[in-house]
């Protein structure tokens, strides 16, 4: 996993969590589930998608559901 990208994604996720007054993350690991472990709901995931897209110009939900942190990195690295 690209460390710079990991730092950026963690920052973006914390922005989303903070906006919804949810508990922020201190670390990010690939197996983390976006809903069950991090606590994102569908509206949070929408905001996450938009913020990632603004940064990397990739819509991670465009062709199917993304469930875990590692799947986000796969999408970002595959383009």
Partner 1 sequence: MNVLITGISKGLGLKTSESLLRNGWTVYGISRSKTEELNELLLQYPDKLKWLQYDLGDAEKIRQIIFKDWIGLDTPIHGLVNNAAMAYDDIVTNLNLDSLEKMYRVNVFTPMMLTKFVIRQMLLHHTKGSIVHISSISVHTGYKGLSMYASTKGALEAFSKNTAREWGEVGVRSNCLVAGFMETEMSSSLSDNQKNRIYQRTSLKKPVDVNSVAETIKFLLSDKANSITGQNIHVDNGTI
* Measured distance CA(7)–CA(27) in Å, rounded: 9
Contact letters for partner 1, residues 25-44 (x by CB under 8 A): ------------------x-
Let me know the angle formed at the C-alpha of 30 by 24 and 35, rounded to the nearest 5 degrees: 55
Give CA–CA dist 2/6, Å, rounded.
6
Q: How far apart are CA 66 and CA 71, in angstroms?
A: 6
1 or 24, CB closer to partner 1? 24
Cα–Cα distance for residue pair 51/9, rounded to 1 Å: 9
Stretch in the footprint of partner 1 (CB under 8 A) among 5-13, 21-29, 32-40, 49-57:
49-57
Binder to partner 1 among 25, 50, 58, 76 (CB under 8 A)? 50
Min. distance of Cβ 47 from partner 1 in angstroms?
5
**Residues near partner 1 (CB under 8 A):** 19, 43, 46-47, 49-51, 53-54
């Amino acid at each position: 996993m690209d460390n710079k990208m990991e730092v950026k994604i963690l920052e973006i996720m914390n922005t989303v969590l903070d906006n919804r007054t949810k508990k922020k993350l201190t670390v990010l690991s690939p197996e983390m589930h976006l809903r069950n472990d991090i606590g994102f709901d569908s509206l949070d995931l929408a905001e996450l998608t938009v913020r990632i897209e603004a940064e990397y110009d990739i819509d991670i939900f465009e062709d199917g559901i993304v469930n875990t942190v590692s799947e986000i990195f796969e999408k970002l690295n595959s383009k």
